[in-house]
C-alpha cells in the first residue's frame, strides 16, 4: 500500500486510494493517514479521505485525532478535513483553540469547517464566539470560509456578529457586517456582501459636514 501510494504517477495513487476505499481494511489506516500528510494532488487527497471514511470510526478517529497534533500543516489540515467527513462525535476532541486559531490558514479553515460539523448540541454559542475572534483575518478565501462557518451556526452567530460589527478595527467590522448580511440572506453573494459592508464602514468613518474643512 505504501509503495503504491508513493508512485510518481498521480493516476496510480488515485487508483490505489480508490481501491483502499472500495475494499476497506483496518490495516490500511496508517498508510492512508501518512500519505494524507504529504500527498500533493488535491484529488488524490480527497480520495484518501474518502477511503478513511469507509473504515470503522473506532479505528480511524483515534489515529486522526493524533494526526491533528502533527508538526506539518497539511497533516493537521487533512486530518481535520477527514474527521469532518467521518462525522463521529468523538472528533470534537480535535477542535482546540490552538487549531481554531492556527497560524496556518489552511489548518484554521479546516478546523472551522470541522468544528461546525462536529460541535455538540448546546455548544454553538461558544464556538461562534471563538470563530468571531478570527473576523478580519486573511484574504478573500479565508474570510469566505469563516463567514460560511459562522452562517452555518445560524442564530448562535447573531450576537457575536452584532458585537463584532462595532469593533474598533474597520476590517473586522466589515467582515462581520458582510457575514450578518449572508446570515439574513443566504442568496447574497459573498463579494457583494463584502463590497456593501466596506461601503457602510467607509460611510461610518467619513467626516460629517461639521468636521469638514472651514
State residue 186's pLDDT score.
85
- The predicted-structure confidence for 17-52, as pLDDT tens digits, reads as follows 999 999 999 999 999 999 999 999 999 999 999 999
* Domain 1-118 coded CATH 3.30.1360.20: no
- The predicted-structure confidence for 140-197, as pLDDT tens digits, reads as follows 999 999 999 999 999 999 999 999 999 989 999 999 999 999 999 888 888 888 888 8
Indicate if the alpha-carbon torsion angle 177, 201, 110, 92 is positive or negative.
Answer: negative
Q: Is the pLDDT of residue 132 over 60?
A: yes
Q: What is the mean pLDDT of residues 54-67?
A: 97
State residue 210's pLDDT score.
53
Q: Is the pLDDT of residue 211 over 60?
A: no
Reported pTM:
0.90
List the domain boundaries for the chain: 1-118, 123-205
Q: How far apart are the first and last CA of the chain?
A: 77
Indicate if the alpha-carbon torsion angle 66, 96, 149, 155 is positive or negative.
Answer: positive
With cell 478570527, the residue in question is 134
Mean pLDDT of the chain: 93
Amino acid at each position: 500500500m505504501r509503495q503504491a501510494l508513493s508512485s510518481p504517477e498521480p493516476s496510480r495513487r488515485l487508483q490505489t486510494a480508490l481501491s483502499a476505499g472500495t475494499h476497506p481494511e483496518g490495516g490500511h489506516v496508517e498508510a492512508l493517514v501518512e500519505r494524507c500528510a504529504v500527498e500533493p494532488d488535491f484529488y488524490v487527497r480527497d480520495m484518501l479521505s474518502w477511503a478513511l471514511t469507509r473504515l470503522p470510526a473506532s479505528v480511524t478517529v483515534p489515529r486522526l485525532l493524533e494526526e491533528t497534533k502533527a508538526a506539518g500543516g497539511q497533516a493537521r489540515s487533512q486530518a481535520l478535513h477527514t474527521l469532518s467527513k467521518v462525522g463521529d462525535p468523538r472528533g470534537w476532541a480535535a477542535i482546540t483553540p490552538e487549531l481554531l486559531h492556527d497560524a496556518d490558514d489552511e489548518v484554521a479553515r479546516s478546523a472551522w469547517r470541522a468544528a461546525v460539523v462536529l460541535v455538540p448540541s448546546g455548544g454553538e454559542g461558544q464556538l461562534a464566539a471563538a470563530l468571531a475572534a478570527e473576523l478580519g483575518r486573511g484574504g478573500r478565501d479565508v474570510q469566505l470560509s469563516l463567514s460560511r462557518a459562522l452562517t452555518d451556526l445560524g442564530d448562535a452567530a447573531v450576537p457575536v456578529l452584532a458585537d463584532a460589527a462595532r469593533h474598533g478595527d474597520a476590517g473586522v467590522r466589515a467582515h462581520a457586517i458582510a457575514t450578518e448580511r449572508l446570515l439574513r440572506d443566504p442568496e447574497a453573494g459573498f463579494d457583494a456582501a463584502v463590497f456593501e459592508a466596506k461601503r457602510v464602514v467607509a460611510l461610518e468613518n467619513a467626516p460629517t459636514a461639521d468636521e469638514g474643512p472651514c
